[in-house]
């Protein structure tokens, strides 16, 4: 049964809480939550890229302190029929204090969509092999959040 898009953040939180109760979860726990979250089908318009994931990282200028973020975002289209009026984005996001080492990292902005032919497991595995994990693995996150945005 397809779930309503307006329940996506609650589902993402429940999925994560089924994997771990840590305030700042381990990367492999987040990866497992992302894998499980992908298994949930949502009621999105039928047209094109209305259900996908994004892996990205980089400097974020919307926090009070300089912050480097890394995470996985699920983007879901909202609309009627084949029409998309807006997108809901659910993020599993780590936040780190920004420093010189992190400023040199360039995000691949790697997208995956259901209709692109790449298995989700292969896309997720590639994201987890990104060299960024080796760099941030030596640092401590200052926060982890599951957020929702309209775009």
Q: How long is the chain?
A: 151
Among the listed residues 92, 111, 118, the one whose alpha carbon sits nearest the alpha carbon of residue 29 = 92
Q: How far apart are alpha carbons 112 and 18 in whole angstroms?
A: 24
Please state the rounded mean pLDDT for residues 113-131: 94
Q: What is the pLDDT at residue 9?
A: 98
- Of the two residues 104 and 147, the one the predictor is more confident about is 147
Residue position matching structure tokens 């996001």: 93
Bridge-based pairing state of the strands 51-60 and 67-78: antiparallel
Residue 148 is given by DSSP the state E
**8 A C-beta contact, residue 33 and residue 19:** yes
Please classify residue 1 by burial: count the beta carbons closer than 10 Å to its beta carbon, then call 0-12 exposed, 13-18 middle and 19+ buried.
Answer: exposed
Q: How many separate domains does the chain show?
A: 1
Query: What is the rounded average pLDDT for all residues in the chain?
Result: 94
Q: How far apart are alpha carbons 150 and 131 in whole angstroms?
A: 30
Residue 43, domain extent:
5-150
Q: What is the pLDDT at residue 109?
A: 83
**8 A C-beta contact, residue 87 and residue 151:** yes
pLDDT value at 107 more than 90: no
Please state the rounded mean pLDDT for residues 106-114: 90
Q: What is the pLDDT at residue 83?
A: 80
Residue 79 is given by DSSP the state S
What token pair was written down for 41?
């089908």
């Amino acid at each position: 049964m397809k779930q309503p898009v307006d329940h996506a953040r609650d589902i993402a939180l429940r999925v994560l809480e089924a994997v771990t109760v840590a305030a700042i979860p381990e990367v492999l726990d987040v990866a497992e939550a992302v894998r499980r979250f992908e298994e949930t089908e949502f009621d999105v318009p039928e047209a094109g890229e209305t259900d996908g994931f994004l892996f990205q990282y980089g400097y974020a200028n919307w926090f009070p302190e300089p912050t480097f973020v890394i995470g996985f975002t699920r983007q879901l289209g909202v609309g009627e029929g084949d029409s998309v009026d807006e997108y809901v984005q659910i993020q599993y996001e780590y936040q780190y204090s920004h420093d010189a080492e992190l400023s040199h990292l360039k995000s691949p902005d790697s997208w995956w969509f259901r209709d692109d032919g790449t298995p989700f497991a292969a896309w997720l595995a590639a994201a987890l092999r990104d060299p960024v994990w080796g760099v941030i693995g030596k640092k401590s996150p200052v926060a982890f959040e599951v957020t929702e945005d309209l775009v």
